[in-house]
Structure 1
């Protein structure tokens, strides 16, 4: 006899008080619950995460809310707010209801609040909540019973990334498996069926496009929809991935919502394809019950029988006499263009005569009405009693399949919005044109057109207006094309035209014609009128042109020059133009930075920031710097701050300071990627050191472009939680200029990450001296006084007054002060006199590799040279 064992509901009880834990635990056990206990929220985070990873979730969590909300409580609640834990039942206990617990309990789903005084009601309330949750899950399961979840294979060499995205996908209804490299991913794809493969581009054993190619070429995995995900934008990576079969390129610094939107779009396409495939199979079953078109022939090709489907497909009624007639003369006497095909040159007639087997070959059959029909036919030799009697031909009409192929070919080369050619097709044609002109004396030209006011219209009137504008501009430009020209939309508000067989004079005239068309065009949307204009860069193409990429770069440079001259104008690229050198420099740095992000050539150095209170007055007069080693025995590690400073370790040039390449990165909108790398690398180094007992603080700079990137907040939160970092040992620096110009975004960033426990510093304060009023509205912890003033305090009374004023006002607002560029003992002495809290500069310590920082005995052992990289 087999007895069924009842499974008790699992409850995790989190409460600091041993007495309350004991009372509540006994009450739950008596009510029939299996109880696990934890005394604090910090240790409960990995417990719940581990439980979810193992697929054995707690049925409920009973959360004791502390009198004072702590960092650990905020982190714990932030985790439970994520989509992955949205269905988790939470019962919150508190001695009194404050705003924090009330708001959280009301806004989070599946959550209830109960006073500790009413703890005896907890079992009944918990039972009701679990019953309601069970009913909802049953309804969801019933709705989803007939629909299999989309199966996702996520391939990434980072375990943290794999865990994050697996949780995110599973929480949103996807069935997700993970792999750590290309080889493992391909093995899993062969072993189990998947609908989508999301593949990291940069992995140790091979790049992601290799796996895309392997999946596409293998019969077992060819139906998997592949997408590339990467941490950095790289044209080459995206191009190779798309060519290898990826349908989408995504970025890890995108928000989770955008990532899920992309996956949802792919899923809808897959669902639609599955529905079509299901319908095709159903119709196929019906067709097979009556048969595809089938006819028989003797060795000479004369028809011996036909089935009803054959007559129907080819337009012959049941009375039409077909037996004994030549199949070649009736069905396949000509090719698709109507050109007559001789019997001796017809592969079908040859197979009839030789008894050859033909498998699923596409050809043209002719309808009785004279219309060509694309068909897929198979020929089987007919043998009766070891004697070949002829052949049996089975065929089916593939007209719709051919139309779909034509549609897909069109889509592959066209922009869905404007119906113009897309960038991929354009670059192929530009490459062909450059190759053609190497064997000709003709001259062609490339026009690179960028709309000047598109962003304004898109932002003020909405994306629908922006899309409408792009369609109208495409139509206007299309009307001016010659038959030999090619117009394409490269992306965003950028268009390009290849003008074939032109002169230098005529191409400038044509470009001006396009510009004037835009200048005179008035865009009307919802009764509002908008003025439109555009800037055009021109690059000539002749036999001296090296490559299509050079031509495109030249046209882009010309467009930039035209924009710099005031926009709404054209510019013809001239090789000797002085502006090209500057643009070449920028483009060279851009390429070098992309390569540095890809190849790991970026590194971090650290410069100590010393609390002034620990510096003896004996080192403030007449000493030669740096004095860092003399200070080490005096400064507690917990009071030490180290600022992360970016360096480019160029294989050809050696160590490059950021002043050489960050301006280019800003112009090319690369700061999001660079800041993302810095944050990731610094926090991983900090986590490694904290695991070894390090108690100091790291400070990390964020650029003005990154302040507005709200996805960075989620990245930092995820890293803090996944790496187990003490966030109070993190200081994030933003400059005064970027904070004031992006005041709303800066406040959002500071407020959200301060709640996590991070601290903030306002860098280069004083560069916008008239903005003192903004200081009280920015909830930063530190104010870093602009080094421009600090360096002059020894000789300039004005600089002394400014530095002292900044220090006094910052202190009056409860903020600590840091003075940068402390280059000698005299500067340090003055800063000590006026009460600056921290100092930084070459007199104290140079920036150094983390392996050279004396970070305490435990930390030092963790940072031998082989471990100095994050």
Structure 2
């Protein structure tokens, strides 16, 4: 549409309004929408529109009455304003006849809305209202009768005149006529011959015969051949109009009946196709392993396939009309509320689809895990129900739960593992900071456990570890988190527990383990443990710092004689020494990685012969250009029992230097020392 066209759209259908608006917007049309006839009347009194488009039923007034009001020039719009009617049910001939009777310009079926822009464009291209009157061909050689017929019919019909039979056949072939008014006696070609030509071209054509008095037998013959009616000449105006009106109604009936018959056949064909499709879908649904359901607007089950019966054991009679939430497993009602909540979200239109998992109770009373996919059924602008796809995921869920358990538990003792401990330590550290609460951490190590492993084997050691885990689990509180974090190392997280209560719990654990004994053959072993404790008080930004503190406290407990508890204190001399030792271990490890370990060789000389018997290697650290002598770092490393690390590196570096400096090979009995020199 080159120029903007104003359209008044009257419909209460949201979907139809969207469709028409989108179609016309692409063609530069301005659409004003109202939902009923009352609103339309108000707008029509206020302003003009180029085109009116409406549904058939538009509130308290139907479209037929509104268009008559438009044609009566009751509004600001011109009486000839194009009026287009949209209908849900459509028969082409009835639509055409209706348009003619009520001066509606066009009737459009809903499925043909895409034709609207072209129709409106055709109205904008002409200033004349289309002539929808039925057409009549009058074949009459008497000019007076032909003129009379034209004068009587012209107001309601489009009339053309043919004066000979040949001319009548020619005009019929060149145009379309709803009715043919045919004289029997014609020049050049008889009325009977004209009738044959007309019916040969269109067997359904409505033909009315005009006969003179006394020729009724000929009229009967022509009626038998296919004419629809006859009238005797001379006739009165009312007689002619009545006969033509009857013929037009017959035409309407025949055409409409034919079109309806075709539609009925189409509908029956589609019903059969639908029935076959429905049966095929039902067979398909019944062969699916997935349960398929449909819920009504109240959430009650209105359809199930056979998979539901096979999965749950509940029959159709047990199921139909009940809520899916009725089959949720659990006496506490939480699962039922969970299912009801998500179903209500779907039914209220808050979401179009949702996937949930829950336990379903089957007829035997057992519970199985299922995964449910909800999808809404959206009709006429609102949710009309919900479809449900339900799958049995019990095996998968149990496998996931088992994997989850394995991921967070120690396989030997079934306690929580190091990964779970780290996660919980982070959580408690965060709550200590955000909620200003105090927790505690106990770090346990079995005393002399290595002796049992070395003398009795790892199998017996595993038995002890499991019994220790069982013993401590029996006295821990429900909220406590007990973990195995290493070979014979355990950690116990104590939520909302201060250092004093933590010390009491740790002493109880030490006393419990000391009471036990383990016999392997004729040998009896006693087990004890050392425990380091620390408060998780929110002062540390890094959670692992609390574990370091507990580890230091454990070291102090072992140094003080084992089988006792020590709580971390920054002011402890032993704690300070251990921290210094740990720092030196880090320094040594970094020096090794950066090749900052150097050896000074000094010869050992025979005092009498002055011969070099061997060389002694003395270790130094060179950090930032400064030499650090062993007296500063070896005692610290020995305190944490990590001297082997230094020994291995000294030997490795000495062997390397021997290969580079032949003078060091003078004696095959070289000695390497990591003494404090």
Q: For the superposition of Structure 1 and Structure 2, which TM-score range results when normalised by the shorter chain?
A: 0.3 to 0.5
Taking structure 2 as the reference length, what is the TM-score of the superposition? 0.46
Indicate the structure whose relative CO is greater, using CA pairs within 8 Å and at least 6 residues apart.
Answer: 1
